[in-house]
Amino acid sequence: MSENYVYDSGALIAIEDQRSPGRLERHRTRLLRSANILVPAVVAAQVVRNPARQARLMHALVACELVPFDARHHLPVGRLLAAAGTSDVVDAFVALTAAWADAAVVTSDPADIGQLLGALGVDLAVLPP
């Protein structure tokens, strides 16, 4: 059985950071274990600024499944934000994507993601980048 992960922007920034090769190595290890790595498209949009200068990030994203944010998502995201008492649409979509995929969340913001997962009533791993 393969593992599922959802990356937030902090995870992608960590992969791109050349001063932290261990974070890119963790990503590669997940891929070698045939993990399914999901990246909400809105998360990628937060991080991608100049693809020609972000080779590590762009290479990492090729191996990930981009999850679109479309019309069917606005209600669940809005309801989750209300339930959690938070306002970050992207974080809410990350949490929902993780819940739908039964996936661990790789994040640099464990408190906010944990609050959202708690509001969803799910117990998923929240991992550092």
* CA–CA distance, 105 with 52 (Å, rounded to integer): 27
Tokens standing for residue 21: 């090769």
What are 18-52's pLDDT values in tens digits? 888 889 899 999 999 999 999 999 999 999 999 99
What 8-state DSSP symbol labels residue 68?
Answer: P
Give the model confidence (pLDDT) of 85-97 as tens digits.
999 999 999 999 9
Q: Is residue 105 within 8 Å of residue 82, measured between CB atoms?
A: no
Classified as helix, coil or strand, 115 is helix
- Answer left, alpha or beta for residue 121, where phi above 0 means left and psi between -120 and 50 means alpha: left
Question: In which element (H, E) is residue 39 found?
Answer: strand 36-40
pLDDT at position 2 is: 64
In this predicted structure, what is the pLDDT of residue 81?
98
pLDDT of residue 18: 84
pLDDT at 79 over 70: yes
What would the pLDDT profile of 100-124 be if each residue is shown by its tens digit? 999 999 999 999 999 999 999 999 9
Of the two residues 2 and 80, the one the predictor is more confident about is: 80
The CATH architecture to which 4-127 belongs is: 3-Layer(aba) Sandwich (3.40)
Q: Left, alpha or beta for 5 (phi > 0: left; psi -120 to 50: alpha)?
A: beta
